[in-house]
Amino acid sequence: MSQTITIDPVTRLEGHGKITIQLNDQGEVADAHFHVTQVRGFERFCEGRPFYEMPALMARICGICPVSHLVASAKACEAIMSVRIPHTAAQLRRVLNLAQMVQSHSLSFFHLSSPDLLLGMESDPTKRHIFGVAAQNPELGRAGIALRRFGQRVIELLGSKRIHTGWVIPGGVTDPLTAANRDEILAMMPEAYSNVKLALAAYKQLASNFKQEIEVFANFPSMYLGLINEDDSIEFTDGTLRLIDEKGKTVEESITATQFPDLIGEAVEPYSYTKFVYYKPFGYPEGSYRVGPLARLNIVKKMGTPLAEPELAEFKQLANGPVESSFYYHHARLIEVLYGIERIEQILADPLILDKHVRATAGVNRLEGAGQSEAPRGTLHHHYKVDADGKMVWANLVVATGHNNNAMNKGVLQAAKAYVRNGKFTEGALNRVEAVIRTFDPCLSCSTHAFGQMPLAMTILSADGEVVDKVVR
């Protein structure tokens, strides 16, 4: 009899999700799906509210990457106001977004994924968490907590609150940076450098134990999308989007926020509250692509900071062309953490960084605006329409997890085929299927601005989808 294995909830993920694995009569994997199981409704309930409330409201989509929503939302609002924000405000936002990237990547690597890497995919599930890591390797556990603290503390020193700061507003930021706070950030640098170096060294050593996982963790050709600067260097806050194909050739050179809806579409599948994003000219699902750290490093030609530059060169050696295995998201993530720390240090050396002029003001000058930013896990797009009084009449959001949705589903199927054979599987095998999802660091919180919850569960379904049994792992 054909059956379905359900992993519910998928754990150590940022949100609520399930995985179902469908077996055929021979017990071989026939299909697999990743389900995001929550929906929220921001795109609708923001309507009727003043547009300048949007950054603070939209940030509540996600407590992990509120800053990226603040930035994309504020940029959409600034398109409506037709203003350019002061240089210092742009630089301060860049620091804020990088600090968030450092903390969120640290969370993803240390708190969510390092238990699999350090303790093993087959290790005791009751101890496979960050406290287990801290018990086994106190130095690594503490480095992870400290790196995340670094990012969060930078956010707090800029915006006076670690989560849901109200500091980013349409037109810039509310308050300038003080010299004392800048100096406190700079004083934290040495510890941050030593922790990220420790993490990179530990990852490179551990990665050699995961050859098979590297082979089957969403390891296939795809296109990649991410923000990039005109000089081909990495970018998180400004710049334009570049899309490259599976060979590394440029498909779209620079997509602006305004052009985005003409080129990027969203399809709905019945089994997930997160939509499936694709490049319109190639159709769905052929136009699917990946975003996030792996995509960004595949797209850029340089980092532009001294320590991250050789790391990028080493990363590019992993493949001839774009790096395809999603296992390498972990590697890319740590390189970006290093870059983030370096870049924050560089920006804080700008003599204008303490300038008091950090806000531009204007009213409604256009009835439509869009903004984009890179969230830690990938590209974020906010698109708003307002009436002449500045009240919201429509919004659409496209988030990282939507861009990666097709790749995550394909990846789950690839791993399930490798680890579930003849209807037989172990707890460790299912944990590997979950670990594929963890490489993407999907934010179920964000992806469920419309819907979503992301625990992983296992259920056995018949071929027609009836629940036959529930497997308790």
Partner 1 sequence: MSKLKLATAWLDGCSGCHMSFLDMDERLLELAEFVDLVYSPLVDLKDFPDQVDITLVEGAVASVDDEAKIKKIRAHTKMLIAIGDCAITGNVPSMRNPIGPEPILDRAYIENATLQPQIPCVVVPKLLKVVRPVHEFVEVDVFLPGCPPSADTFHTALTAIISGEPLDIPALTRFGA
Range 63-82, binding ligand SF4 (CB under 6 A) = 63
**Residue 310 in the binding site for ligand SF4 (CB under 6 A):** no
Q: Which two tokens stand for residue 301?
A: 């030609």
Find the binding residues for partner 1 in span 418-447 (CB under 8 A): 431, 445
Report the C-alpha gap between 48 and 391 in whole angstroms.
Answer: 5
Number of residues binding to ligand SF4, judged by CB under 6 A: 3
182 binds ligand SF4 (CB under 6 A): no
* Residue with Cβ nearer ligand SF4 (167 or 278): 167
Q: By CB under 8 A, is residue 35 in contact with partner 1?
A: yes
Nearer to ligand SF4 by Cβ, of 60 and 302: the residue is: 60
Q: How far apart are CA 460 and CA 465, in angstroms?
A: 9
* Six-digit token string for 49: 């509210």
Residue 200 interacting partner from partner 1, ligand SF4, none (CB closer than 5 to 8 Å by kind): none
Q: Are strands 17-23 and 240-244 parallel, antiparallel or unpaired?
A: unpaired
Q: Which of 60, 142, 316, 417 binds ligand SF4 (CB under 6 A)?
A: 60
Q: Which is nearer to partner 1, 125 or 423 (CB)?
A: 125
Q: Considering the complex, what minimum distance in angstroms separates the CB of residue 153 from partner 1?
A: 9
Contacts of 404 (CB under 8 A, 6+ apart): 290, 291, 292, 377, 378, 440, 442
Least gap, CB of 238 to partner 1 (angstroms): 25
Residue 169 contact partner, candidates partner 1, ligand SF4, none, CB within 5 to 8 A by sort of partner: none
**296 contributes a contact to partner 1 by CB under 8 A:** no
Residues forming a β-bridge with 369: 384
For the annotated binding site for Ni(2+), the residues are 65, 443
Cβ atoms 36, 15 nearer than 8 A: yes
Q: How far is the CB of 456 from partner 1 (least distance, A)?
A: 7
- Show the site string, 42-81: x = touches partner 1 by CB under 8 A, - = not: -xxx-----------x--xxxxx-x---------------
| Under 8 Å between Cβ of 225 and 235 | no
Identify the CA nearest to 150 among candidates 341, 308, 307: 341
Minimum distance of partner 1 from residue 35's CB (angstroms): 5
Q: How far is the CB of 43 from partner 1 (least distance, A)?
A: 5
Q: Pull the structure tokens for residue 109.
A: 């690597």
Q: State how far the Cα of 56 lies from the Cα of 67, in Å rounded to an integer.
A: 10
Q: Which of residues 149-168 bind ligand SF4 (CB under 6 A)?
A: 164
Least separation in angstroms between residue 473's CB and partner 1 is 6
| Residue 112 touches partner 1, criterion: CB under 8 A | yes
Task: Tell me if 8 contacts partner 1 by CB under 8 A.
Answer: yes
The DSSP-derived string for 220-289 is: S--EEEEEE-TTSBB-SSSSEEEEE-TTS-EEEEEE-TTTHHHHEEEE--TT-SS-EEEEGGG-TTTT-E
Q: How far apart are CA 68 and CA 90, in angstroms?
A: 13
Round to whole Å and give the CA distance between 235 and 340: 10
Exposure of 317 by Cβ count < 10 A (0-12 exposed, 13-18 middle, 19+ buried)? exposed
Binding site for Mg(2+), residues? 43, 62, 397, 449
Report if residue 88 touches partner 1, rule: CB under 8 A: no
**DSSP annotation string for 293-326:** HHHHHHH-SB--STTHHHHHHHHHTTSSSS--BG
Q: What are phi and psi of 447, to 5 degrees?
A: -65, -15
For residues 146 and 386, which CB has a smaller minimum distance to partner 1 in the complex?
146
* Rounded Cα distance, 39 and 153, in Å: 31
Which of the choices partner 1, ligand SF4, none does residue 12 contact, using the CB cut-off of 5 to 8 A by kind?
partner 1
Indicate the residue among 60 and 197 with the shorter CB distance to ligand SF4. Answer: 60
Q: Which is nearer to ligand SF4, 60 or 182 (CB)?
A: 60
CB of 60 to ligand SF4, least distance (A): 4
Tell me the residue number closest to ligand SF4, measured at CB. 60
Cβ-based nearer residue to ligand SF4, 57 or 393: 57
Which residues bind to ligand SF4, rule: CB under 6 A? 60, 63, 164
